[in-house]
Structure 1
């Protein structure tokens, strides 16, 4: 198939062709699509991320119009949205032409469809963090106070882009804002980013943060944040909690 023949519709059709009902059953449990789960109401057809990334390879070189991708992002099928977000994240990371701000705007007006942790985690850093790297980060404070679990997670995961480039201030600002969050997925995301800040930027900065905040941190957030610290240091902060 030529690049010109690659469209959002052909990508979604390829995902449908790769569907496996047995894989769908496993994914439905893993992403909590059952009643009462955080993914309830979503639909899985049964395509693993590794398969999706394989299908995406030719599309990474094709110029599928953004309006097509935005429309495809409204699909009720989880794996369709996952593929579109992976594609948008790749294009945002490459930052060709004027696409990065367009993708950022598309993303923030589409958060209703970015409604599970894998969808956030494959895209928020490249699309939101990548766009904000040389701009005000005030939008992250707005997002972290959103009623939407997924918008709050977007704010936290977006900081990974900054952390990988040696900037840790944003996660140290945002993490205390979610100490009282009711969702474990938010505690996990904040702890993950704190851990990354300690690993990639400064372990000393992380310890200073923990010295002040460890007693108030949710257990899950603290556990994730200290994972890469020496055993005796982990024990010290657990005891303070």
Structure 2
């Protein structure tokens, strides 16, 4: 058994030991019953995982990717969260081929809770490391037939602040702004809201100039309305 399989087995074993039926049902209900849970809430899950993340900190990056894929094959959602936490530990050393695994995981048992972390933290960190790949992958993914891959394309730069490629961000929003899909509309609003904290004028000008879905507009202006309403006057 290699280290990837060992890590996967260790995670599932310790999670099974901490199964909590009282928590399980409300956690599954919150996620619309898409996936089963062990019933381990985030603070406890992080505490349980910490020793394992430390024990396997020197795993090869190839085995780290393999472990994540193995964990996503498990039914319980906490295993998927553990996979993403493990991948995050290696984000600064992620090999070039990591993006293929990230995309695979985006499309494996997808829902917003895993997709958003993969998009903004893993893909975002990857494109920070491999800057020349940000535009081609974002352009490709925004044209995908897969909803969650398209959502990811909007969120790649969510944490980039002043390093955001604004032209690429607005081009990506342009390509998706008329789509009548809740998770796309919300992603656009979220991306605009975050970027408004860096360049309020660029976001205001964009929304004055372009026709976006009402939900995207409301979400995009939410922070400005709360913190800088004077910028929206007139």
Same fold, judged at TM 0.5 (above): yes
RMSD: 2.6
User: 1:204: which partner in 2?
Assistant: 201
2:88–2:122 CA contact under 8 A, matched in 1:
yes
Structure 1 gaps, min length 5: 34-38, 237-241
Helix, strand or coil at the partner of 1:76: coil
User: 2:51: which partner in 1?
Assistant: 58
Normalising to structure 1: TM-score of the pair?
0.79
Match of 1:119 among 94, 114, 136: 114
| Matches of 2:48 and 2:97, distance apart in 1 | 24
1:13-46 Cα shifts (integer Å, max 9, x gaps): 222222222322222222222xxxxx3xx22222
Give how far 1:84 is off: 0.4
Structure 2 gaps, min length 5: none
Give how far 1:91 is off: 1.6
* Range moving further from structure 2, 155-164 or 112-121: 155-164
Give how far 1:155 is off: 1.5
Normalising to structure 2: TM-score of the pair?
0.81
User: 2:152: which partner in 1?
Assistant: 154
Match of 2:41 among 48, 54, 72: 48
1:22-33 to structure 2, matched below 5 A, reads 22-33=22-33
Number of residues paired by the alignment? 220
Distance 1:25 1:170, change over 3 A: farther
| Matches of 2:187 and 2:233, distance apart in 1 | 21
1:174-215 Cα shifts (integer Å, max 9, x gaps): 11222222321221111111111110x2111111111112xx
1:45-83 Cα shifts (integer Å, max 9, x gaps): 222233322223233332343223322222222221121
Distance 1:77 1:4, change over 3 A: closer
